[in-house]
Amino acid sequence: MQKEQLLLIPGPTPVHPRILNALSLPTVSHVSPVFVDEMKEALVNLKEIVDCRDGEPFIVAGAGTLAMEMALLNTVSKGEKILVLSQGYFGQRMKDIAHSFDLACDIIQSPWGKAVLTEELADKLSQDHYAAVVSTHVDTATGACAPVREYATKLKDFDTLYILDGVCATGGIEERMDDWGVDVVLTAAQKCFGVPPGLAVLVLSRKAMDKRLKMESVPAYYADLMRWLPIMKDPSKYFSTPCVNEIRAFNEATKLILEEGMEERFRRHKGFAKAIRAALRRLGFSFFTDESFLADTISVCYYPEGIEDMAFRATYAKNGVIVAGGLGEVAGKVFRMGHMGNLSSSQVQFAIASLESTLFTLGYGFEPHSGVEAAREILESLSN
Ligand code: PMP
């Protein structure tokens, strides 16, 4: 029998049995009433999750990168310029996408492990006009969370759209489109929603939709939101066959999120991050990400002296937990642990207990149970 493993990479994340069950249902017609109702429900729920009362949600087969491309192509015309606020890998990807479509792009790149400061954004905005400003909420390579709400507040003074890449945050860290003034949230299924990979997910504010309506055409066919808009308004219509099972699973995920409640879900993500980091610190690990930018969804952890990357990750996997290696300049020096989606407190406790077994196998000296205890104290305070 295959041993069950806890997937704590920065996405895909563990899939809740209710979501797995939705995936495994017999495939129904994409225009059947049962699917049409579920698609409608998923779209309504999605808007609630990102606090968008007006505006349009889109759920399309693809992944986060397609959502990035769709966001850009449908809001920025040739001849206009965008500003990317990058704290690592995925801001650079946004710049590459802009270049692929010959869109002018300025970028502010923060040091890895930090994020662009609002003052730097303000400074840039005073020098040039941008059709859109794009930022990554949490960079999955560096574990840095950007001050998104501060950016949005600053951007209210300017005539520009604010596009937020929420792939590693939406549904786990607060994002309020209406209240904060975010014009596009783009995301994917496989992180905080806890659904297997396979969806590009976007919500556009009324202002962003108005911009698209004013654009005569966009350099896209499948990625043109105007082809999808009629389907999102009435899913019994056809443009391109939707991934029926994946969307039903996504709908189940949105229900799970709303049943938990947004405030409670954000509190749980924060609490789990705190518990995991307390345990790791107690066991001698430190963090790559600057203290003031630590994200609630992922930790990028430096190994203590004497722990070798490959041996650590292979042994941890044998003990039931899969984590990811580092990217770029810190490859080999860190591991990345995702802690987002539908994780339970007992899964977090298992991950720490298994971490202690791994360190023991590798001959690393530490006080037994100290990590487990550190996590337990915080986890218990959360359930009170
Ligand atoms: N943005 C961020 C912040 C991400 O973490 C990722 C994926 N790790 C992407 C975009 C791209 O998503 P995908 O791999 O689903 O194309």
For 220-231, the pLDDT digits (tens) are: 999 999 999 999
What is residue 3's predicted lDDT score, i.e. its pLDDT? 72
Whole-angstrom CA distances from 98 to 5, 159, 201, 267, 270 are 38, 20, 19, 35, 33
Which pLDDT band holds residue 4 (cuts at 50, 70, 90)?
A: confident
Q: 56-108 pLDDT, tens per residue? A: 999 999 999 999 999 999 999 999 999 999 999 999 999 999 999 999 999 99
Domains of the chain: 6-11+261-382 (3.90.1150.10), 17-260 (3.40.640.10)
Nearest CA to ligand 1 atom 13: 64
Give the tens place of pLDDT for each residue, 320-373: 999 999 998 899 999 999 999 999 999 999 999 999 999 999 999 999 999 999
Q: Is 347 in the pocket of ligand 1 (CB under 6 A)?
A: no
Q: How far apart are CA 322 and CA 334, in angstroms?
A: 14
Pick the atom of ligand 1 nearest to 11's CA.
Answer: 8
Which residue has its alpha carbon closest to ligand 1 atom 8? Answer: 140
DSSP string, 12-60: S-PPPHHHHHHHTSPP--TTSHHHHHHHHHHHHHHHHHTT-SSSEEEEE
Determine the distance separating the centroid of ligand 1 and the alpha carbon of 356, expressed in angstroms.
30
Mean pLDDT of the chain: 97
Residues 146/136, Cβ–Cβ less than 8 Å = yes
Q: Which atom of ligand 1 is nearest to the CA of 139?
A: 3
Q: Looking at residues 123-144, what average pLDDT do you find?
A: 97
Asked if residue 13 has its Cβ within 6 Å of ligand 1, the reply is no
How far away, in angstroms, is 86 Cα from ligand 1 center?
14
Q: Are 341 and 9 within 8 A, CB to CB?
A: no
Query: Does any ligand 1 atom lie closer than 6 A to the CB of residue 56?
Result: no
Q: Identify the pLDDT of residue 313.
A: 98
CA of 65 to the centre of ligand 1 (A): 6
Q: Does the structure show a pLDDT above 60 at 1?
A: no
The pLDDT value given to residue 2:
62
Among 7, 59, 60, 65, name the best residue to mutate to test ligand 1's pocket (greatest count of ligand atoms within 8 A of Cβ): 65
Q: Is 167 in the pocket of ligand 1 (CB under 6 A)?
A: yes
List, for residues 253-298, the tens digit of each pLDDT value: 999 999 999 999 999 999 999 999 999 999 999 999 999 999 999 9
Q: Span 148-161, mean pLDDT? A: 97
Tens digit of pLDDT for each residue in 188-206? 999 999 999 999 999 999 9
How close is the Cα of 156 to the center of ligand 1, in Å?
27
